[in-house]
Structure 1
Amino acid sequence: MELIINGLKKAIEMILTGDRAIFEITWLTLKVCFSATLISSIIGLPLGMFLGLTRFRGRKMILVLINIGMGLPPVVAGLWITMFLWRSGPLGHLHLLYSPTAIVMAQVLVSLPIITGLTSSAFQQINEKMLLQIKALGATKIQTFGLLLKQTKIAIVAAIMAGLGRVIAEVGAAQMVGGNIQGDTRILTTSIVMEVSKGNFDVALAISFILLTVALLITASLTLLQQRKRLS
């Protein structure tokens, strides 16, 4: 209990004293997580909508692969990204390994299946009679798209929240592809692992409290947005 209290005191001290290192790490964490979630949403939402509304040969196999990807271990994602970005890999000439971009790539790999899969499930639950009614009323494609988004907006926000939650808590892939380099690729989760390995449990707990606070604020904001949309 004393260790937890000391960790909380250390976290408050870091924030109040304006610890430059912790603010840089927190900012980088937010930047890579939001970037990965945005990319995953731009790709995953339309893809999930397409898979949820259309029927074609091979669709079930794609959905199986997406569902498998939802449980993809982050270290496996990190390994694959490392292999592609390694000096002798297909993308080695880009020199992206051990960079924030590499972390974003790994996080997209673990969050994209989640956003795609949950979006697809939401659109699969739309009543086919409603789709026929929309067509019968002569709605344009844009109008149809807007109506379907209105019906599934709560599930879509939930999908984005799930994807963001996955990347903000991710450590294995980020450690592997980023290298946990101070001032360059060190984020909150990898910092916690590093401090624990050094035996600095009070610092590790302090950083964990900061990470929990950030995650809580983001989740609370998205939940309020989701519920406000529900009431509108």
Structure 2
Amino acid sequence: MDLIGIALREAWGLVRSGDAELWEIVALSLRLAGWTMGLTLLLGLPAGLFLGFGRFPGRRPLLFLAHVGMGLPPTVVGLWVALLFWRSGPLGELRWIYTPRAMVVAEVILTLPIVVALVATAIESRRAKLLPLLLSLGATPLQMLWLTLREIRLSLLTAVMAGFGRVFSEVGAAMMVGGNIKGETRTMTTAIVLEVSKGQFDRALALSFVLLGVSLAITLLLTAVQRAGGGEGEGGGGMG
């Protein structure tokens, strides 16, 4: 209990004093999470829409792979991404190993299946009523996309929350492809692992409290947006 009390005091001291290293780590963690989720949504939304509305051979196996991918082991992903960007690897000439770029690639691989699976499932559960309604309204492809996203907005927010949670809790892949380099690739999770390895449990706990605070703030923000959006329409009722 004394250790926890010391960690709480140190965490407050780090925040209050404006510890440069701490905020550098927090800023990098948020920046990586932002890039990861931006790219994940850019790739995952079209794929989820395609799997949700589409009817083609191989669709079920692809959807199954998306669901399986939600549980990808981070260390396995980190290993393959590291091999890909290693100096003697296929993309070694890019020199991305031990950079934030490689970390984003690994984290996108981990979060992409979450968005694809949740979006596809949300659309599939409404497809029988949603698609005929959109066609009867004579909606253009752009209008169909907008109305569909409105209809599944809460499921989409859930996917974003799950994705952010995955990014902020991930450590294995980040360390393997990022190297935990101070000022360049050190995030909150990798910094905690480093402090524990040094026996600095008070600072590790302090960092963990800061991480929990940031995660809680993001969760509360997304939850507030989710509640402000109201319930998703049932059978097209939410598009009126």
1:127 Cα offset (Å): 4.3
- Output the CA distance in 2 between the equivalents of 1:88 and 1:43: 28
Alpha-carbon distance in 2 for matches of 1:35, 1:130: 31
Answering whether residue 174 of structure 2 is matched by residue 174 of structure 1, we say yes
- Aligned identity (percent) is 47
Counterpart of 1:59? Answer: 59
SS of aligned partner of 2:88: coil
What is the root-mean-square deviation in Å for CA atoms of aligned residues? Answer: 1.2
- The range that moved more, 125-134 or 171-180, is 125-134
Deviates more, 1:206-215 or 1:119-128: 119-128
* Secondary structure at the counterpart of residue 98 of structure 2: coil
1:102 match? 102
Q: Which amino acid aligns with 1:132?
A: P
User: Is residue 187 of structure 2 the alignment partner of residue 187 of structure 1?
Assistant: yes
Aligned 1:23-62 pairs, distance under 5 A: 23-62=23-62
Q: Across the two proteins, how many residue pairs are aligned to each other?
A: 232
The one-letter amino acid of 2:189's match is T
Q: Which residue of 1 aligns with 2:165?
A: 165
The reply to whether residue 226 of structure 1 matches residue 217 of structure 2 is no
Whole-angstrom CA distance in 2 between matches of 1:115 and 1:8: 35
Contact 2:29–2:187 (CA under 8 A) maintained in structure 1: yes
2: CA distance, partners of 1:17 / 1:211: 17
Q: Deviations over 1:174-195 (max 9, x none)?
A: 0110111111111100010111
Write the letter of the residue equivalent to 1:102.
A
Give yes or no for contact 2:53–2:124 (8 Å, CA) kept in 1. Answer: yes
Give the gaps of 5 or more residues in structure 1.
none
TM-score when normalising by structure 1: 0.97
Contact kept in structure 1, 2:53 and 2:127, CA below 8 Å: no
Instruction: Give the letter for the 1:70 counterpart.
Output: M
State the partner residue of 1:139. 139
**Aligned residue number for residue 86 of structure 2:** 86
With the length of structure 2 as denominator, give the TM-score of the two structures. Answer: 0.94
Superposed counterparts of 1:177-216, under 5 Å: 177-216=177-216
Distance in 1 separating the partners of 2:153 and 2:133:
20
For 2:234, the equivalent position in structure 1 comes to none
> CA–CA distance in 1 between the matches of 2:186 and 2:26?
9
Matched residue SS, 2:115: helix
Alpha-carbon distance between aligned partners in 2 of 1:127 and 1:117, rounded to the nearest angstrom = 15
Cα deviations by residue, 1:146-176 (Å, 9 ceiling, x for unpaired): 2211211000111111111101110000011
Deviation for aligned residue 1:143: 2.0
Deviation, structure 1 residue 69: 1.0
Equivalent residue, structure 1, for 2:68:
68
Question: Are the equivalent residues in 1 in contact too, given 2:81–2:177 (CA < 8 A)?
Answer: yes
* Moved beyond 6 Å, runs of 4+: none
Q: Distance in 2 between matches of 1:78 and 1:72?
A: 10
Cα distance in 2 for partners of 1:183, 1:37 equals: 22
**3-state SS of the aligned residue for 1:177?**
helix
Mean CA deviation greater in 97-106 or 127-136: 127-136
